[in-house]
Amino acid sequence: MMSVVIALSFLLVVMAIVLTYITALKLSTRGRDSTEKRKFYACGEDEIVAPDTTTTTFFRYVLLFSVLEAVPLLIAFSMPATVYAEPVLRVILVIYIILALIASYILTR
């Protein structure tokens, strides 16, 4: 009975995440690409040509650190529960580990 509750809870969370993602995708405003966004404003002066220095390297690093730091901690904290757990909980843990490895691969590409 407990394994059914755990499996249903897991599916409910996954469905809520997917529903939130789809809703945000539909409701978000779409930006228009424009070269005017990148131009500097200088009143009466010639335009200063400067390279675009904004990069996403820091954000990729933070995401990679979050995945690589949080996943082992969550697995380590849940290990005592999996020793006596039912097979459904072990399957959910394996799925979670696989998804974490896929996320790590995507972030390090």
pLDDT digits (tens, 9 = 90+) for 46-58: 666 666 666 667 7
Residue 104 domain-assigned (yes or no): yes
Q: Is residue 7 one of the residues assigned to a domain?
A: no
24 within some domain = no
Number of domains comprising the chain: 1
Q: Is residue 91 part of a domain?
A: yes
Domain extent for 87: 54-109
For residue 12, being part of any structural domain is answered with no
> 68: how many CB neighbours lie within 10 A of its CB?
14
Distance CA(40)–CA(36), nearest Å, equals 9
pTM: 0.34
Is position 25 within any domain? no
Domain-embedded: residue 90: yes
Confirm if 107 and 65 have CB atoms less than 8 A apart: no
**Given pLDDT bands bounded at 50, 70 and 90, which one contains residue 21?**
very high
